Structure 1
Amino acid sequence: MSSLDTIQVFQSLNSSPHARLEQSAFLGDGVVAALWNNRHDSQDYHAPSHHTLSCYIAGGTGTFRRDQPDKKGSPDKICTLPAGHQSSWVVNGEIRLAHLYISPEQFSLNCVTLLDREPRELALQEKTFLADPQQAERFHRLIGMNWKEPGERLLTSSLAHELLDHMILSQVGLREGLRLKGGLAPHLRRQLVEFIELNLAEPLSLGQLAGTCSLSEYHFARMFRESFGLPPHQYLLARRISRARDLLRSTRMAFGEIAVECGFASASHFSNRFKQAMGATAGEYRMAFQS
């Protein structure tokens, strides 16, 4: 997600005369955070293209969904709103709530890396007013950070990943009645993931990846996107950035060495890609975790 204009839930609240945005930030990796105050309002969400994970920070005892009028919100309650869902909300009284907006591409990547499953096999389950103390505690830590401070904002990215991973591991279910066609077979997918992880330092080509599955480049690229939810080059870049983050946190390797280890052509290429993905330099990222 490159612009707040594409985040429908954010735009719906932002256009309300009753809602007030306290702060928002792009946390990298297709995740955006926002903190809202709202009072005496109504909101309708019509098939947003992103997933939304929310936590009631304060108030909300007069908030309910129109299709579930007997269920009311309260502090620390968690809501999961998948992409494509429909919901209508009534806010009586005041509420303070935190949102994470998650791109479908990042959801797909986490499904592959966490669950070793094709994203199209899986569905994010819609949850309203869920009691999850671990998630609530993470949200409280998140809003306690200064999102405008580069070093601290990098720490929020790791916390956002904890929230996303917990949501996926606890709430993702198999789609009912789905017949998969056109993707990579499970054993080929596992073989491919292992090959990529072992060769992140190498200048991999589409032909090399296709060759591991004995497919043409054309058919491989289509089937890869069917299985992983994003094209091969985006998946490879995400895995390289993830490896770089691990090395920045756990080693004292020079940036040039990390660039080589993660398959980037040069230290400057690595630095540019890292800043695009994370919103801060590799040096700022390392310094944040040292402190």
Structure 2
Amino acid sequence: MSELADYQVFQTLSRSRAQLERSAAMGDGIAAAIWSNAHDATGYSTPGHHTIGCYLGGGLGTFRRDQPGLKGAPDKLCILPAEHQSAWVVNGELRFMHLYFDVEQFALSALRLLDKEPRELQLRERTFIDEPLQSARFRALTQLDWREPAERLLCSSLANAILDHSLLSHSGRRFDLQVKGGLAAHQRKGLIDYIEQHLDQPLSIDQLAQSVALSPYHFARMFSLSFGVAPHRYVLSRRLQRGAQLLRHSRLAVGEIALACGFASASHFSNRFRASFQATPGQYRLALVGHA
């Protein structure tokens, strides 16, 4: 349970009458949990991370206090953004699955899918919506063994697909926030292109700052404002994503992939990859190459 200590919704449920069936960290700021509950009341207040949930069984008497006319049901989905507040009443029995996403993972996905500044976007709050494809992905997740490395990688792939779909379908521009500072749009686009073209090379803060004619100090601050993550975190994420792509779509040896992604050695790449994906590059290739 300690691996989910940073997820407030998980911790709130742990202190309620809800019973945890199983949980796991999926890597890259994503975690999952399956719960059962009955005859309970709970609430969440600005948890600081995003939660996407799917009802697996029951829930016909479950509702939000501010929306008493809406009731849950199997396969209903809820999207609870990082800044949301809600209070819930559980009448009868309920079984559900939660996926927890940290805001950094949301930022990286927003940049990758929408090419927009993450701070300009917000995930829309949704209660008891019907999306058969998403609920099917949740159902598939429940059938996998989260403890087995290969199946956990499939879990991570499904979880990312759920986040991507939610971001594309249920996010929009923030109108309650006055955006100040940060990089200009052309600078951000230029940096993304520059980093992609130089992932096989060392990339220092000084080098990145020079590419947009800024001092290293101001560059680091403005980059974090616009990208939602620090420069080194973004570069590492892009290196690892390219490494994952090469593992899935090429026959290059792990050492060759490490060099192609800017890592000093195969061991350095493997250590970073394991920390992010919860599996070694070899385990990743065996588990997902057939699903490329």
TM-score interval, smaller chain: over 0.9
After TM superposition, the structure 1 = structure 2 runs for residues 39-188 of structure 1, keeping only pairs within 5 Å, are 39-188=38-187
Instruction: Report the counterpart of residue 194 of structure 1 in structure 2.
Output: 193
Larger CA deviation: 172-181 vs 105-114:
172-181
AA at the equivalent of 2:6? T
Amino acid of the residue matched to residue 188 of structure 2? R
Deviation sequence 1:151-209 (CA, Å, 0-9, x none): 11111111111001000000111011533211111111111101111111110111111
Corresponding residue for residue 14 of structure 2: 14
| Aligned CA distance change for structure 1 residues 290 and 177 (closer, same or farther; 3 Å) | closer
1:213-243 CA distance string (max 9 Å, x none): 1111000000000001110000011111111
Given that 2:51 and 2:80 are in contact with CA atoms closer than 8 Å, whether structure 1 keeps it comes out as yes
Q: CA contact under 8 A between 2:247 and 2:289: conserved in structure 1?
A: no
Question: What is the SS of the residue equivalent to 1:6?
Answer: coil
The answer for unaligned runs of 5 or more in structure 1 is: none
**In 2, distance between residues paired with 1:155 and 1:202?**
30
- Residue 209 of structure 2 contacts residue 216 of structure 2 at CA under 8 Å; is this kept in 1? yes
Q: Which amino acid aligns with 2:14?
A: N
Deviations 1:2-58 (A, max 9, x none): 832221110111112x31111111111100011111111111111101110001111
Question: Residues of 1 paired with 2:4 and 2:176: CA distance?
Answer: 35
**What is the one-letter code of the residue matched to 2:9?**
V
What secondary structure does 2:5 align onto? helix
Does the 8 Å contact 2:4/2:25 carry over to 1?
Answer: no
Call closer, same or farther: CA 1:159–1:63 in 2, change over 3 Å: same
SS of 1:225 mapped into structure 2? helix
In structure 2, the residue matched to 1:213 is: 212
CA-to-aligned-CA distance 1:60-93 (integer Å, 9 cap, x gap): 1100000011100111111000112110000011
List structure 1 segments (4+ residues) > 3 angstroms apart after TM superposition: none
Q: Partners of 1:121 and 1:289 in 2: how far apart?
A: 33
CA RMSD of aligned residues (A): 1.1
Between the aligned partners of 1:262 and 1:234, the Cα distance in structure 2 is 14
* Deviations 1:93-139 (CA, angstroms, capped at 9, x unpaired): 11111101000000011111111110110111111011111111111
Show structure 2 runs of 5+ residues with no match: none
Structure 2 CA distance for aligned equivalents of residues 151 and 176 of structure 1: 42
Among all aligned residue pairs of Structure 1 and Structure 2, give the percentage whose two residues are the same amino acid.
57
Aligned residues: 289
SS in 1 for 2:246: helix
Q: TM-score, normalised by structure 2?
A: 0.97
Distance 1:260 1:149 in 2: 29
